[in-house]
Structure 1
Amino acid sequence: MGAASRNTGVWLLATLATFLTFAQAKGGIKDFADAQGPRKFDLTLTWEVFAPDGFPREMALINGGFPGPTLEINQGDEVEVLIHNKMPYNTTVHFHGIEQYLTPWSDGVPGITQRQVLPGESFLYTWTATQYGAYWYHAHQAGQLDDGLYGAITIHPKKSQATPFSHISKDDATLQAINRAARDPRPLLLGDWRHIPSPEVQDLTHKANMELSCYDSLLFNGKGSVECWSPERIAAAVSDQQEDYLKSANLTSLTPKGCLPRVVIADIISDGADTHPETIPASVFDVCAASSGGKEVIAVNKTTEEPLKWVAIDLVGAYGLLTVTFSIDSLSVWVYAVDGEYIIPQLVQAITVTNGDRYSILVPLTAAGDYPIRVASVLPVMAISGTATLSYRTEDPAAPLAAPTPYINDAGEAVDGSVVFFSVDAQKQLEPLPIASTAAQSFPLYMRTVGASFEWALNSSKFPAAVIDWGTEPVILFHPQPYVQNNVTITTLNDTWIDMVFITADVPMPPHPIHKHGNKMWLIGQGTGEFTWGSVNEAIAAIPGNFNLVDPPRRDGFSTAAATDAKTWTAVRYHVTNPGAWLLHCHIQSHLLGGMAVAIQDGVDHWPLVPAEYVNY
């Protein structure tokens, strides 16, 4: 669009903003009982030198800090988030897991729901908090999530919302303590961190024609350290899969940073592509330089008025690449909500957390102590772990401190057979919704690399970079033609049920954390081998034991089944109830940037009318 029209759109939003009183949010508005009108937040995005793990680099800050302020909201609130882009790069902000019911133009995906916010411009996102629970917001432009542009969202449930806590205990005192904790959850954003900004990562990726799969540190709420392990500690953390990769390249060890060497990524994982690992600086894969940005401490204090003490923590997987195991030494935790929805609680000692996941946990505390919060990578690309601290003190200052012991090791594996992991397969929603016995459409999506190792396809074809990277005219502004389908577009009708089957076209294939914007999906089936049926309906008739249509897990993101020795497939079903343009994509940043996405035009027969201020922006 022309500069005049775009400036008019900016003026309209800025003029509206002058009539709004925004919370300068280090945490937003806290007085939920008395606050009236929309929940309003003002976020200024800047590009500055900062040192989350003690190593200074240029990165994105939000209101001068990292991570960004937590947006605290009540279920049912109208929400207004005004961003000011003072970075030298175009940007957008996506509210991850927020369904954006009837407001798809505020989903924050360039080329799909909006035009990019240029340097010096502002943009107003407006939506209704129809949900409750743990969510997060992050950049959906280039690799800016890897540059720190993210923060937590906490949506407090309505008082009428049923809770799962009676499944944990029937004791009144215990339930009172649990409810106190659940009313004030502590967000814990878990992230991986590089010492080079995303524009440089992209430049090196294209020069070397291979993925840069090595990170420098793990962060907890923006704090972490680079810990250089001894050769013995690195060797102890090597997995069987890593050992096989190393042997295939006639190598015996990971790099001093704990990464698979670049030659392994180039020659084996890139599967014969013409790569140039020599163009990558040694600092990216090989050189470990210790540094410290401090340690995150979740402090919990018991008062004399509290007979029991519990703490609620909202885990957010804000990773660009890694999948980790999470655990708190010596403490079992109750997982009571997943991706913002209550489930029948599971008592576990470890949780696998990947990109975009949210797990709400309750931790019972009895003995004073400093309990290490531990995460460790389980992806073969590198061995890395990190810790934060859950510090619990009772009203007795002389109470002896507990001596915690870990449940997991540096490889993210259980230290013994007694450790229980959270089970996605066993996840049961507290208030399950009915699922249709059949679907109107079934889409097989073949996942593969298409060229270089960093060029990925969710359905055999790369999603055009011109749409979500360069920011073409957004799909939401154009009423689509019904029934148009291709490898990068899915079109549906309103109030229909849709199946998608994610099929590993190549072996080996890592798990892919697939995220759907706009609404949640049910994980209804998985299997090994070729998916030979014409639809999920046919597959259910042929192999009913592989499917669950009664009480399957419901989430906005699922990891596909890994294909180590044979092809695999993962089937999800969703109900079209939120018409608009949405993105379906792998949440690994390099895979998304490499084209691993599909546009979904949901409900083309009830296509939304976009407000003028968003059309003209």
Structure 2
Amino acid sequence: MPARLLTRFLAFASLFRWAQAAVVPFELHLSHGEADPVGAGSRRVILINGTFVGPTLRLTQGDEAEITVRNYMREDTAVHFHGIAQASTPWSDGVPGLTQGMIKPGASFVYRWTAEEGGTYFYHTHVRAQMMDGMYGSIVIENAPQAKRPFALISNDTHERKSMLKAEKHMQTLLISDWTRFTSSEFTAVEAAANVDLACMDAITVNGIGSEYCLSIEELDSMTHPVVLSMLHDLGEKHLTNKGCIPPFPVFQGDFDLHLENLPDRAYKKCIPGINPKGNFSLDVDTSVGYAAITFINPGSLYPLQVSIDSHDLHIFAVDGHYVHPQTVDRILVNTGSRISVMIKLDQKPANYNIRIANDYLNQVLGAFAELAYDGTSKKAVDAIPKMDFAGRPLNQNITSWIPEHSRPFPDVKPARHADALFRLTLKKLGRPHGAYEWTLTGKERYHESLDDVKNPNDPLLLSAPSDIPESELLLRTSSEQWVDVVLVTLGPFAQAHPMHKHGNRIFLIGSGGGDFPWKSVDEAMTVLPEGTFNLENPPYLDTFNTIEIQGGDVNATWTMVRYEVSAPGAWLFHCHVQTHLSGGMGMIILDGVDNFPEVPMEYQEWNGFKQTAVGWV
């Protein structure tokens, strides 16, 4: 079914449900506080309703969310609802300068949107790198009873399908994130002082709980990839740092004047062991149900994370909130910004099983643990079979792995066969005279969250007529109901994958390859490239996707092609979800549907979403 028809069908099918939709109010109070999630020393974080991390927001498909955010901090902020469809409420997307002004200290803002689609999502700040300070939480929207689910493709047993339905109704979320003892402002200040792209973290947390593991040199050596060990020796080093990191070698930073003498020891070298007093986060599961439904959400700053559960298969059934054709695997990759939903069959001996999480990049040996506790037991499983080690390496050659780019939407939904426009983006470091930590999506300009070169952050673009918005390298324009291709060319020599997120709507990931993309259209490229390079039949349907990295050899660039329908007019952000890359400039603006730009309600033009009524402000 084409995406446009699917969207209209879902909207039509929901009309009767929406007619009786409940307004579900939430209050999010933001404040600064101290937290020590890994037992290695506290630091300042952002608390949401007094907790680190934020509470889960639960709704039912068709509900109308009304979320009042009150800023008790001494800095500006805003809240974005990652992956939530905002076609009818683009003023509630939560991006200062695009859809709203900043929420000033002492001020409040009311976000309103309809839960048009079921699934698991999350909310987080979109100001500087505040996510690194813990400003995030999960959103669970229960799908309507009549939604078509893929559980029959996991099991054809009627009882088991009923068990999966019950498990989904009690969806549990695990927010898995890298953690640093630096605050977000300290982290970016270290980058600027040393002129480095800092890539070394302290720990991984699960729902705000973790431990900082300081391994011995022998242990680190045993888990270091052979290619990394060889490279270290070639560059005059014998080992990773005490934190398990590759040192900031100039060859990997690029052609910049580095000031490594300004790096504090704790940036790369100093490891402080710690254990959260609560121990590992324990996820209690009810064996009487037969299955558990879990969504792994990565709101982290830098790292994609591998996940496995000892002695248990992972039945993937949704990605980024949308059902997919199920796949059964041993471990999954969760990129920053992604949400992967799995069914776990509770068919093992009643015990407590390790959930293993590990950094997927080779730059640092970093792992963590949580626990899958049958009926809340603390008794450890003595004969559990682990799937991967602390560094994320498979423990046998038969381990099956999965990445979001392998998913297929369920029910089937496909893009148009041909696009109306193609935009080319160039992903790279800006190079001199800019810093080693500054990035670009255009190949020329960096995105400033202040938007000084386009608009004031407190005078959002959504309030302007598109014709009044000046042209910019950082701005693309589309027309309503167009199908648009965006090709992202990542330049080397050490080009990493970038987790890209488009606000406003999902995209189809239709192709990728090595080298440049010199063609003017996908149609033209298909006449040259090998058959199968592009998938227009059942491509992944995502809101966050990874570009491909350079695998070595003589290739000094890669390209990734996505296609989407302009079905949500508005001012949308498109950016890398690595927090230091976004704060370093890796973002841009897409003005979708400039011929049908939305009219913003008065309460969002003037009053931060509060409505004036006969009895006061609501």
Do both proteins adopt the same fold according to a TM-score greater than 0.5, normalized to the shorter chain? yes
1:505 is displaced (CA, Å) by 2.2
Aligned partner of 2:398 in structure 1 is: 418
Give 2:33's match in structure 1, choosing from 25, 30, 48. Answer: 48
1:196 is displaced (CA, Å) by 1.4
Does 2:345 correspond to 1:355?
no
Q: Indicate if the aligned counterparts of 1:330 and 1:405 stay in contact, CA closer than 8 A.
A: yes
Aligned partner of 2:616 in structure 1 is: none
Give 2:446's match in structure 1, choosing from 463, 469, 476. Answer: 463
Task: Provide the C-alpha distance between the structure 1 equivalents of 2:403 and 2:136, rounded to a whole number of angstroms.
Answer: 27
1:473 is displaced (CA, Å) by 2.2
Task: Provide the C-alpha distance between the structure 2 equivalents of 1:245 and 1:479, rounded to a whole number of angstroms.
Answer: 54
Does 2:530 correspond to 1:546?
no
List structure 1 runs of 4+ shifted beyond 6 angstroms: 397-400, 482-485
Q: Is there any run of 5+ residues in structure 2 with no aligned partner, and where?
A: 1-16, 609-618
Does 2:570 correspond to 1:580?
yes
Aligned partner of 1:112 in structure 2 is: 98
Give the letter for the 2:585 counterpart: G
Task: Provide the C-alpha distance between the structure 2 equivalents of 1:244 and 1:513, rounded to a whole number of angstroms.
Answer: 28
Give 2:515's match in structure 1, choosing from 519, 523, 529. Answer: 529
Q: Indicate if the aligned counterparts of 2:356 and 2:369 stay in contact, CA closer than 8 A.
A: yes
1:584 is displaced (CA, Å) by 0.5
Q: What whole-Å deviation, never above 9, does each CA across 1:438-457 have from its counterpart, x for those lacking one?
A: 11110111111002221101
Aligned partner of 1:320 in structure 2 is: 301
Q: What whole-Å deviation, never above 9, does each CA across 1:462-514 have from its counterpart, x for those lacking one?
A: 33315369835211111113998653111000000000111112222000000
Q: Indicate if the aligned counterparts of 1:165 and 1:175 stay in contact, CA closer than 8 A.
A: yes
Aligned-partner SS, 1:94: strand
Give the letter for the 1:576 counterpart: V
Q: What whole-Å deviation, never above 9, does each CA across 1:63-114 have from its counterpart, x for those lacking one?
A: 0001101000111111111001111111011000112121111111111111
Task: Provide the C-alpha distance between the structure 2 equivalents of 1:326 and 1:276, rounded to a whole number of angstroms.
Answer: 36
Task: Provide the C-alpha distance between the structure 1 equivalents of 2:120 and 2:62, rounded to a whole number of angstroms.
Answer: 15
Q: What whole-Å deviation, never above 9, does each CA across 1:422-443 have from its counterpart, x for those lacking one?
A: 2445421111223211111101
Q: Indicate if the aligned counterparts of 1:310 and 1:365 stay in contact, CA closer than 8 A.
A: yes
Aligned partner of 2:12 in structure 1 is: none
1:280 is displaced (CA, Å) by 1.5
Give the letter for the 1:179 counterpart: L
Does 2:50 correspond to 1:64?
yes
Matching of residues 437-586 of structure 1 within 5 Å: 437-451=417-431, 452-467=435-450, 471-481=457-467, 486-543=472-529, 544-565=531-552, 566=555, 567-586=557-576
1:202 is displaced (CA, Å) by 1.6
Q: What whole-Å deviation, never above 9, does each CA across 1:541-599 have from its counterpart, x for those lacking one?
A: 32242001011110001100001322211100000000000000000001000110110
1:315 is displaced (CA, Å) by 0.7
CA 290–607 in structure 1, closer or farther in 2 if over 3 Å, else same: same
Does 2:364 correspond to 1:382?
yes
RMSD: 2.1
Q: Indicate if the aligned counterparts of 2:404 and 2:545 stay in contact, CA closer than 8 A.
A: no
Task: Provide the C-alpha distance between the structure 2 equivalents of 1:323 and 1:426, rounded to a whole number of angstroms.
Answer: 16
Task: Provide the C-alpha distance between the structure 2 equivalents of 1:213 and 1:310, rounded to a whole number of angstroms.
Answer: 38
1:381 is displaced (CA, Å) by 2.7
Name the stretch that deviates more: 593-602 or 289-298: 289-298
Matching of residues 230-241 of structure 1 within 5 Å: 230-241=216-227
1:413 is displaced (CA, Å) by 2.2
Aligned partner of 2:320 in structure 1 is: 339
CA 318–483 in structure 1, closer or farther in 2 if over 3 Å, else same: closer
Task: Provide the C-alpha distance between the structure 2 equivalents of 1:482 and 1:118, rounded to a whole number of angstroms.
Answer: 26
CA 536–371 in structure 1, closer or farther in 2 if over 3 Å, else same: same
Aligned-partner SS, 1:503: strand
1:249 is displaced (CA, Å) by 2.6
Task: Provide the C-alpha distance between the structure 1 equivalents of 2:500 and 2:378, rounded to a whole number of angstroms.
Answer: 49
Q: Indicate if the aligned counterparts of 2:352 and 2:378 stay in contact, CA closer than 8 A.
A: no
Q: Is there any run of 5+ residues in structure 1 with no aligned partner, and where?
A: 1-31
Q: Indicate if the aligned counterparts of 1:61 and 1:148 stay in contact, CA closer than 8 A.
A: yes
How many pairs are equivalent?
576
Aligned-partner SS, 1:465: coil
Q: Indicate if the aligned counterparts of 1:316 and 1:356 stay in contact, CA closer than 8 A.
A: yes
1:535 is displaced (CA, Å) by 2.1
Aligned-partner SS, 2:246: coil
Does 2:111 correspond to 1:125?
yes
Aligned-partner SS, 2:284: strand
Q: Indicate if the aligned counterparts of 2:79 and 2:123 stay in contact, CA closer than 8 A.
A: yes
Q: Indicate if the aligned counterparts of 2:53 and 2:135 stay in contact, CA closer than 8 A.
A: yes
Give the letter for the 1:299 counterpart: D
Matching of residues 75-224 of structure 1 within 5 Å: 75-224=61-210
CA 446–247 in structure 1, closer or farther in 2 if over 3 Å, else same: farther
Aligned-partner SS, 1:408: coil
Q: Indicate if the aligned counterparts of 1:101 and 1:128 stay in contact, CA closer than 8 A.
A: no
Task: Provide the C-alpha distance between the structure 2 equivalents of 1:601 and 1:438, rounded to a whole number of angstroms.
Answer: 21
Task: Provide the C-alpha distance between the structure 1 equivalents of 2:33 and 2:443, rounded to a whole number of angstroms.
Answer: 39
Task: Provide the C-alpha distance between the structure 2 equivalents of 1:228 and 1:502, rounded to a whole number of angstroms.
Answer: 38
Task: Provide the C-alpha distance between the structure 2 equivalents of 1:509 and 1:64, rounded to a whole number of angstroms.
Answer: 40
Aligned-partner SS, 1:69: coil
Aligned partner of 1:288 in structure 2 is: 271
CA 599–100 in structure 1, closer or farther in 2 if over 3 Å, else same: same
1:242 is displaced (CA, Å) by 2.8
Task: Provide the C-alpha distance between the structure 2 equivalents of 1:359 and 1:87, rounded to a whole number of angstroms.
Answer: 32
Task: Provide the C-alpha distance between the structure 1 equivalents of 2:380 and 2:37, rounded to a whole number of angstroms.
Answer: 33
Task: Provide the C-alpha distance between the structure 2 equivalents of 1:85 and 1:489, rounded to a whole number of angstroms.
Answer: 30
Q: What whole-Å deviation, never above 9, does each CA across 1:301-347 have from its counterpart, x for those lacking one?
A: 334xx5xx111101101111011111011111100000001111000
Aligned partner of 2:410 in structure 1 is: 430
Give 1:301's match in structure 2, choosing from 286, 292, 305. Answer: 286
Give the letter for the 1:180 counterpart: K
Aligned partner of 1:598 in structure 2 is: 588
State the percentage of identical aligned residues: 36
